Amino acid sequence: MDSGTMAQWAAVFVSVTFSLAAMVLAWINRRSDKIEAVEATCDALDKRLATVETEVKHLPNVDLVHELQLTMAEMRGEMKTLLARVEPIKAISERLQNWALEGHAK
């Protein structure tokens, strides 16, 4: 091979090498853009998760809900007892009101 042919082959080799390098760099950049998009999505999800965890901390747990249920059942029973005790007083009040309306009160 003479020096002219070698120079032509060297030029072809260099241009092919640069073309391949450009393609590899473009592929890497495209991948890094995708990676950045995934990282941004992960950051957004982390923020949302932190918000949810903060809100969940304020919610009652199973034991507290059970305790509330028991307390409400106890209060329901006490209210029934009070209603039973108030019924006679209500009847007396109605009789007194009727008696007063009939003109017996002076």
pLDDT tens-digit profile of 32-91? 777 888 889 999 999 999 999 999 888 989 999 999 999 999 999 999 999 999 999 999
Q: Name the pLDDT band for 1 (thresholds 50, 70, 90).
A: low
**What's residue 44's pLDDT?**
94
**What's residue 28's pLDDT?**
81
DSSP string, 82-95: HHHHHHHHHHHHHH
Predicted TM-score (pTM) of this structure: 0.44
Euclidean distance between CA atoms 84 and 90, whole angstroms: 10
pLDDT at 18 > cutoff 90: no
